[in-house]
Amino acid sequence: MTDNWIEVANADSIEMEDLIRFDHGDKTFCIYRIEDGYYATDGMCTHEAVHLEDGLVMDDEIECPMHQGIFNIKTGEAVSPPACEDIKTYPIKVENDLVYINIS
């Protein structure tokens, strides 16, 4: 597997306990900033293909804005119905105040 680091945003442009949407190619990602760092997941809910960008971030979880399914931001695990299929997570790094995602 090769490294494919892509610049996403300035680190300070993502508020604490919030996320930004990042589109690359034909995929949507969510980049989160929570108490212990930055994380990335697929940007679509696995329940009904709804964008998670308008969801509520609480601690290390994201709640889908449509049916309130909940995913763990760090692991991608679907932790509350109707979400039953996990979302994929991606490596994140911060260098020189820039956030990067590895989508390989």
pTM score of the predicted model: 0.93
User: Each residue of 42-52: pLDDT tens digit?
Assistant: 999 999 889 99
User: Each residue of 15-29: pLDDT tens digit?
Assistant: 999 999 999 999 999
Structure tokens at 86: 């996990």
Q: Are strands 61-63 and 37-42 parallel, antiparallel or unpaired?
A: unpaired
Q: Residue ranges per domain, the chain?
A: 5-102
Q: Which CATH class is domain 5-102?
A: mainly beta
Count, residues in the chain: 104
Cα separations in angstroms, 66 against 9, 25, 26, 62 = 26, 25, 22, 12
- Per residue, the 3-state secondary structure of the chain, as one string, reads CCCCEEEEEEHHHCCCCEEEEEEECCEEEEEEEECCEEEEEECECCCCCCEHHHCEEECCEEECCCCCCEEECCCCCEEECCCCCCCCEECEEEECCEEEEECC
Structure tokens at 16: 């604490």
The predicted structure's pLDDT at residue 2: 61
* pLDDT at residue 11 is higher than 70: yes
